[in-house]
Amino acid sequence: MNADAKPAVVVVRRFDASPERVFDAWLDPQIARHWLFSTPDGEMVRAETDARIGGHFTFTERRNGEDVEHVGEYLVIDRPSRLVFTFAVPKYSDEYDRVTIEIRRLDKGCELTLTNEMSPEIYREWGEQTRNGWTTLLDSLAALLDDENASDEGAITR
């Protein structure tokens, strides 16, 4: 690791969906609101994306009567293979992480590698929770995409 490198959490997840569908689920607020930064007991009250380089996102979830805001800026948007953004939860820290999403096409579906770089201090305090959080969120995305596939397959076309 070079002197400028930050500690990182890396999570890898396979999906039965196309790279395009997985990629778009990060940027479409109507899809992302159902899985990105959401918890089973929370209520997503705001989901906004300005899906362009330099554009920002805000996802606010109400948890036990408190609003928890997740914010960031898109740095790289290379559909369907790479997305890079900054990320912060101002309620807990004013520090921004850097998240890189890389999506590789497979014979069936795709594989997503998420790398969340953060300061050593944040990593020490939040590293394992961050890994668990991203793993849970990616599981939620997979379930959402599986539900969409089931709906598509059950559709009757005339």
Digitized pLDDT (tens) for each residue of the chain, 158 residues in all: 566 789 999 999 999 999 999 999 999 999 999 999 999 899 999 999 999 999 999 999 999 999 999 999 999 999 999 999 999 999 999 999 999 999 999 999 999 999 999 999 999 999 999 999 999 999 999 999 998 776 654 443 33
Domain covering 8-151, topology: Alpha-D-Glucose-1,6-Bisphosphate; Chain A, domain 4 (3.30.530)
* Per-domain boundaries in the chain: 8-151
* CB of 68 closer than 8 Å to CB of 60: yes
For the residues of 73-106, what is the DSSP string, one character each? Answer: EEEEEETTTEEEEEEB-TTT-SPPEEEEEEEEE-
* CB of 47 closer than 8 Å to CB of 32: yes
Residue 128, SS3 per DSSP:
helix
d(CA 12, CA 34): 20
pTM, to two decimals: 0.91
